[in-house]
Amino acid sequence: MIGRLNHVAIAVRDIAKAAEVYRRTLGADVSEAAPQPEHGVTTLFITLPNTKIELIAPLGDASPIAKFLERNPDGGIHHVCYEVEDIRAARDSLKAQGARVLGDGEAKMGAHGKPVLFLHPKDFCGTLIELEQA
Ligand code: CO
């Protein structure tokens, strides 16, 4: 069912500082930060030859990553994103197997302008999974 690794997301408190670590120290190709008010985060993407890293920082008072950063004050890996050919078919298959889809279970527009869903970490080896329509 799952295809390519689209990105690994790392939550950080200070996205400008984190961008500098990737740009300057690690020599990576880093995009501009983009606020995503409807998701409560600011994101940017680091393009690697075989995948991407997404840096996410809290935006606003009720950011969904605020609790994660309380537990991980230095930042940390927040989720992995796998591509699927058909996100609705993937969701229906996963739900039929007892996996929990977060939120109302409907795909939402993600940071790439493609539909995404999140799967409960307790069902997937302790890792929050994002599925993105390929
Ligand atoms: Co993501």
Ligand 1 centre and the CA of 129: distance in Å?
9
Average pLDDT of the residues of the chain:
95
Instruction: Specify the number of domains making up the chain.
Output: 1
pLDDT of residue 109 exceeding 90, the answer is no
CATH of the domain at 19: 3.10.180.10
Ligand 1 centre and the CA of 15: distance in Å?
15
Mean pLDDT highest for which of 13-17, 35-39, 57-61? 13-17
To 10 degrees, the CA torsion angle through 130, 8, 123, 125? 170
pLDDT digits (tens, 9 = 90+) for 49-80: 999 999 999 998 899 999 999 999 999 999 99
C-alpha R_g of the chain? 15
Q: Write out the catalytic residue numbers.
A: 130
Domain hosting 68: range is 2-133
